[in-house]
Amino acid sequence: MAPALRGSARHDGELRVGRGADSATAFSGGLDFLRIALGTLADSKTTIEELYAWQFDGPFLRDFTGRKPTGPRAAGAIDAVK
């Protein structure tokens, strides 16, 4: 088991997304979504596949019965069937 981390993660350095510090290893493409977490996937006891499934096919896209909304989303757990 890894030792508990102590202290702050604050720093005055740059947050780099899509390129390395040497500028030679740049990401070529576009980012539609970026998530910055306080821990690793292992800390979360999840996988990249689970995160991907949640983001693009998660339960928030349906009501409790599994139906996808056909119009504006209602506030309830079960959308009305018309």
pLDDT, tens digit (0-9, with 9 covering 90-100), for 13-48: 777 787 776 767 778 888 777 777 778 888 888 888
Say how many domains are in the chain.
1
Does this model's pTM top 0.85? My answer is no
Give the pLDDT band (50/70/90) at residue 1. Answer: low
Please check whether residue 3 lies inside any domain of the structure.
Answer: no
Please check whether residue 15 lies inside any domain of the structure.
Answer: no
Give the pLDDT band (50/70/90) at residue 65. Answer: confident
Q: Residue 36 belongs to what domain range?
A: 31-82
Please check whether residue 24 lies inside any domain of the structure.
Answer: no
Please check whether residue 11 lies inside any domain of the structure.
Answer: no
75-to-48, 62, 72 alpha-carbon distances in Å: 30, 12, 10
Please check whether residue 23 lies inside any domain of the structure.
Answer: no
68-to-59, 73, 79 alpha-carbon distances in Å: 10, 9, 9
